[in-house]
């Protein structure tokens, strides 16, 4: 092979796989022997506890089955390493253009200053500016967001040369100035402070205009602002496309005289009588509008709160697409979703370390990670429905030659005509072309269909993370987000897009199973709830559901439980979690399963029966001062009266009653001898109580605004009381 064929990336296998596979086999033996025990030791007809036994058998069948599914992502994880330095040896002029799509939907939940920091961080990529075009899709059609972007287009002229001169990281001004109080990176201190002032003045102007809720009249004289007329609302407005910086224009230069990336504001038409298909609709509008303006062969899709923390990410991604040998097959490159403001002990389970370090590399082994809607580079063609073919040759020069043929005004008008409400009528958009509609996790289903069309995807997680987002900082936000995810993935599972059906014969069985790890999140809720409640109630009543400690069957329960958790702990620590973080994650795992996933499965079923309609909740990216303080101190935030909290409170209370009642029963009638048949149940109940300790604290001890509202405490207490009393009689 000649010089020009040097591989741009390499792939390594995870270590210790043989040991893992042996361990997994031994676990499987353990699981089967538990099943065998359940099948052979059931109480006879009419005997006490037969139904409870059948239920727990069903739950254990499910857990075993689900555990087998999850082996797909642990079987053989692989890791990718790129060589951007080899890319740099190529002629810079040969590298493709890249379009960056940033989506925002609500100027209140997603403050414009945050949005433009993300935009600026991508404009400042270490990549030829004339090859970059950044699009902001504003689904609220808000003049406030437009104003912020307009400010950003001016600020970029100072910020981009500053970033490049001093090689600053991260290149989101908000993140850069908030993390650093002193100049760094060999900056001249005066230059650093004047940059900081410039940024802060801009941030103040934006924040005060957002507070005011409208822009001052004198601004309306500027180009673009006249698009907004009175009477326009976020749900009723014409299409708007404004090219704020036209990269082709000789006059668009920064303060050092270098070219600037193209910057475009876009709000697709919204009318109350037309369904807008949420984020998928917005992405599809972006794909079309950008095809008119820059038409780059590669696109990057980002959520507005995920700023770029690594100015080399474009080059890393291109290492895959441009690899002479394997690049041909690769349809998209997915970066992980990492959160910037996860506290050290990760109270709400958002470090996602196990997802990013084990599970996604596990997907990659079978043909590639799912598309998760943010931090993903695509070939434009595959988003438009292109099937894989060995002979396909990407036109990397696409979009480069569209120099100055048309003026910006003409481009804007043409782009507008592509993002009207009626444009998609009687087309394949939302079905075969673009992101798919009618599913809350449009991204996953779109990625799956791309893989089924024959493309591979790759997953890359460099040690300096590419994108950082904002994690929810209250329990309610986090549970609602997981409800949406579990619901969407379960809907896919039940639809014609089920990985086992759609993927049959097209993708590997391992990948089909891997998708089901998330697809089957929601159904986990029922067996988990059963396991948390029924053995405890049986303890209260004195019915034994598990083998005695002296029985040989006890060993299989002990082995499977300890094996699973010790393995989980080691995996989690290896991925960089703390011990307390792991413990917190176990709690979140229970809370998510008993609430988010329960709601997820219920609402999926209601939808199947056509009883309720789909909605889409945006997770707020702001929270009030006190709540943030509690978040930083790792204190769970309840505060609102959500019905989810009633479930959490009731499960916690019920287990407390059962533990007390169960122990008392032993003392009164059995003494220590009575403990034997009920030992596992006491242990289980005790563990449930231990993991819920912060919940009791919020129920009874804490007085702050983030503790349980009285109504929730009352309801959960009453509910738990009622159930225990009914059991006792
Ligand atoms: C983000 O980038 C900074 C350097 O700019 C680095 O120190 C930090 O570790 C990165 N964050 C993550 C999570 O990788
Ligand atoms: C996380 O984000 C919230 C909301 O933006 C903020 O109030 C909080 O201070 C951040 N916490 C950390 C630890 O960065």
- From 116, 104, 172, select the one nearest 466 (Cα to Cα): 172
The CB of 312 under 6 Å from ligand 1? The reply is no
Residue 593 has pLDDT above 50, yes or no: yes
Mean pLDDT calculated for residue range 575-594: 94
Residue 4: what pLDDT?
58
Identify the burial level of 164 via C-beta atoms within 10 angstroms of its C-beta, where 0-12 means exposed, 13-18 middle and 19 or more buried: middle
The CB of 76 under 6 Å from ligand 2? The reply is no
Q: Which atom of ligand 2 is nearest to the CA of 342?
A: 13
**Ligand 2 atom 10: the closest Cα is on which residue?**
341
Residue 405: what pLDDT?
65
Residue 623: what pLDDT?
59
Residue 619 has pLDDT above 60, yes or no: no
Residue 252: what pLDDT?
87
SS3 of the chain: helix, strand, coil, percent, to 5? 55, 10, 35
Residue 485: what pLDDT?
92
- From CA 337, how far away is CA 375, in angstroms rounded? 7
The CB of 308 under 6 Å from ligand 1? The reply is no
Tracing tokens 């009207």 back to the chain, one arrives at: 420
Residue 128 has pLDDT above 70, yes or no: yes
- From CA 700, how far away is CA 136, in angstroms rounded? 47
Q: Cα 281 vs. chain centroid, distance in angstroms?
A: 19
**Ligand 1 atom 13: the closest Cα is on which residue?**
465
The CB of 269 under 6 Å from ligand 1? The reply is no
Ligand nearest to the CA of 114: 2
- From CA 336, how far away is CA 430, in angstroms rounded? 25
Residue 2: what pLDDT?
43
Residue 182: what pLDDT?
64
Residue 612 has pLDDT above 80, yes or no: no
Q: Are 457 and 369 in contact (CB under 8 A)?
A: yes
Q: Are 333 and 458 in contact (CB under 8 A)?
A: yes
pLDDT tens-place string over residues 380-404: 999 999 999 988 888 898 888 765 6
Q: Is 391 a known ligand-binding residue? A: no
Rg (alpha carbons) of the chain, rounded to whole number: 28
Average pLDDT, the chain: 91
CB atoms within 10 A of CB 544: 19
The CB of 171 under 6 Å from ligand 1? The reply is no
The predicted model scores a pTM of 0.92
Residue 491: what pLDDT?
92
At 309, the pLDDT band (50, 70, 90 cuts) reads very high
At 624, the pLDDT band (50, 70, 90 cuts) reads low
Q: For residue 340, how far is its CA from the centre of ligand 1 (angstroms)?
A: 9
Share of the chain above pLDDT 90, in %: 71
- From 340, 293, 301, 338, select the one nearest 317 (Cα to Cα): 301
- From CA 446, how far away is CA 64, in angstroms rounded? 30
Ligand nearest to the CA of 353: 1
443 is annotated as an active-site residue: yes
Residue 611 has pLDDT above 90, yes or no: no
Read off the DSSP letter of residue 316.
H
The CB of 623 under 6 Å from ligand 2? The reply is yes
- From CA 579, how far away is CA 584, in angstroms rounded? 9
Q: Are 565 and 714 in contact (CB under 8 A)?
A: no
Q: Cα 712 vs. chain centroid, distance in angstroms?
A: 29
139 is annotated as an active-site residue: yes
**Ligand 1 atom 2: the closest Cα is on which residue?**
309
**Cross-strand pairs, 625:** none
At 190, the pLDDT band (50, 70, 90 cuts) reads confident
**Ligand 1 atom 4: the closest Cα is on which residue?**
169
The CB of 642 under 6 Å from ligand 2? The reply is no
Which of 118, 625, 631, 637 should be mutated for ligand 2, with most atoms under 8 A from CB? 631
Which of 309, 339, 357, 462 should be mutated for ligand 1, with most atoms under 8 A from CB? 309
Q: Cα 253 vs. chain centroid, distance in angstroms?
A: 36
**Cross-strand pairs, 298:** 98, 379
- From CA 240, how far away is CA 420, in angstroms rounded? 10
Residue 707: what pLDDT?
85
The CB of 632 under 6 Å from ligand 2? The reply is yes
Catalytic residue among 99, 138, 139, 246: 139
At 670, the pLDDT band (50, 70, 90 cuts) reads low
Residue 616 has pLDDT above 50, yes or no: no
CA dihedral 192, 197, 198, 203 (to 10 degrees): 130
Domains of the chain: 13-73+515-728 (no CATH), 89-337+372-471 (3.90.550.10)
- From CA 654, how far away is CA 446, in angstroms rounded? 42
Mean pLDDT calculated for residue range 501-515: 96
Q: Is 246 a known ligand-binding residue? A: no
Helix H or strand E encompassing 262: strand 262-267
Q: Is 110 a known ligand-binding residue? A: yes
- From 125, 483, 457, 506, select the one nearest 307 (Cα to Cα): 125
At 1, the pLDDT band (50, 70, 90 cuts) reads very low
Helix H or strand E encompassing 451: helix 442-452
Lowest mean per-residue pLDDT among 399-413, 586-600, 661-675: 661-675
Catalytic residue among 99, 305, 443, 577: 443
Q: Which atom of ligand 1 is nearest to the CA of 340?
A: 13
Q: Is 256 a known ligand-binding residue? A: no
Residue 547 has pLDDT above 80, yes or no: yes
The CB of 470 under 6 Å from ligand 2? The reply is yes
The CB of 713 under 6 Å from ligand 2? The reply is no
At 665, the pLDDT band (50, 70, 90 cuts) reads confident
Read off the DSSP letter of residue 596.
I
Cβ within 8 Å of residue 214, ≥6 positions away? 143, 144
Mean pLDDT calculated for residue range 470-475: 87
Q: Are 287 and 383 in contact (CB under 8 A)?
A: yes
Q: Which atom of ligand 2 is nearest to the CA of 343?
A: 13
CA distances for 551 relative to 35, 59, 279, 535, 690, angstroms: 15, 22, 56, 19, 27
Q: Which atom of ligand 1 is nearest to the CA of 168?
A: 5
């Amino acid at each position: 092979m000649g010089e020009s064929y040097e591989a741009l990336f390499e792939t390594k296998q995870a270590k210790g796989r043989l040991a893992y596979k042996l361990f997994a086999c031994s676990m499987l033996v353990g699981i089967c022997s538990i099943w065998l025990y359940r099948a052979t030791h059931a109480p006879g007809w009419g005997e006490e506890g037969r139904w409870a036994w059948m239920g727990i058998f069903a739950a254990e069948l499910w857990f075993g089955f689900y555990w087998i599914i999850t082996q797909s992502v642990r079987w053989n994880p692989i890791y990718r390493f790129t060589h951007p330095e080899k890319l740099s040896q190529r002629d810079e002029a040969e590298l493709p253009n890249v379009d960056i799509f940033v989506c925002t939907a609500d100027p209140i939940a997603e403050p414009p200053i945050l949005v433009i920091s993300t935009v600026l961080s991508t404009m400042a990529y270490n990549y030829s500016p004339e090859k970059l075009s950044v699009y902001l899709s504003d689904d609220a059609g808000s003049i406030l967001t437009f104003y912020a972007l307009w400010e950003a287009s001016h600020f970029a002229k100072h910020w981009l040369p500053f970033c490049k001169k001093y090689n600053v990281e991260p290149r989101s001004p908000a993140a850069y100035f908030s993390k650093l109080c002193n100049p760094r990176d060999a900056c001249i201190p005066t230059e650093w402070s004047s940059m900081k002032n410039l940024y802060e003045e801009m941030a103040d102007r934006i924040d005060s205009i957002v507070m005011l809720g409208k822009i001052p009249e004198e601004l309306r004289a500027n180009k673009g602002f006249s698009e907004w007329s009175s009477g326009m609302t976020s749900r009723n407005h014409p299409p708007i496309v404004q090219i704020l910086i036209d990269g082709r224009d000789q006059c668009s230069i920064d303060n050092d005289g270098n070219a600037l990336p193209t910057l475009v504001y876009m709000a697709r038409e919204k009318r109350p009588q037309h369904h807008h298909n949420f984020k998928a609709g917005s992405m599809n509008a972006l794909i079309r509008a950008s095809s008119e303006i820059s038409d780059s062969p590669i696109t990057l899709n980002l959520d507005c709160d995920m700023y770029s923390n690594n100015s080399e990410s474009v080059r890393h991604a291109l290492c895959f697409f441009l690899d002479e040998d394997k690049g041909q097959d690769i349809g998209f490159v997915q970066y992980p979703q990492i959160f910037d403001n996860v506290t050290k002990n990760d109270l709400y389970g958002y470090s996602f370390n196990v997802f990013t370090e084990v599970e996604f590399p596990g997907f990659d082994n079978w043909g590639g990670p799912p598309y998760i809607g943010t931090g993903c580079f695509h070939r434009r063609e595959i988003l438009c429905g292109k099937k894989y073919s060995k002979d396909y040759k990407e036109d990397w020069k696409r979009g480069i030659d569209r120099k100055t043929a048309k003026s910006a005004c003409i481009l804007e008008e043409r782009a507008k005509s592509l993002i009207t409400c009626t444009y998609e009528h009687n087309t394949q958009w939302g079905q075969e072309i673009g992101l798919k509609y009618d599913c809350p996790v449009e991204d996953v289903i779109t990625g799956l269909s791309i893989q089924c069309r024959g493309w591979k995807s790759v997953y890359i997680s460099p040690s300096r993370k590419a994108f950082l987002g904002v994690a929810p900082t209250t329990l309610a936000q986090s549970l609602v987000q997981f409800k949406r995810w579990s619901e969407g993935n379960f809907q896919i599972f039940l639809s014609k897009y089920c990985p086992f059906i759609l993927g049959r014969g097209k993708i590997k069985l391992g990948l089909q199973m891997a998708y089901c790890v998330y697809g089957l999140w929601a159904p986990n809720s029922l067996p988990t709830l059963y396991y948390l409640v029924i053995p405890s109630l049986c303890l209260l009543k004195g019915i034994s559901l598990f083998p005695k400690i002296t029985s040989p069957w006890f060993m299989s329960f002990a082995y499977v439980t300890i094996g699973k958790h010790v393995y989980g702990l080691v995996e989690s620590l290896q991925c960089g979690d703390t011990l307390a973080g792991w413990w917190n994650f176990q709690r979140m795992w229970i809370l998510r399963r008993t609430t988010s996933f329960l709601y997820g499965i219920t609402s999926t079923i209601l939808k199947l029966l056509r009883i309720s309609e789909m909605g889409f909740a945006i997770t707020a990216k702001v929270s009030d001062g006190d709540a943030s303080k509690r978040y930083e101190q790792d204190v769970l935030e309840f505060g609102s009266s959500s019905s989810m909290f009633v479930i959490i409170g009731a499960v916690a209370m019920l287990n407390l009653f059962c533990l007390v009642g169960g122990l008392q029963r032993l003392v009164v009638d059995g003494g220590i001898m009575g403990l034997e048949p009920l030992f596992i149940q006491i242990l289980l109940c005790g563990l449930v109580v231990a993991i819920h300790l912060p919940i009791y604290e919020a129920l009874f001890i804490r007085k702050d605004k983030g503790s349980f509202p009285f109504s929730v405490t009352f309801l959960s207490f009453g509910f738990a009381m009622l159930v225990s009393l009914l059991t006792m009689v």
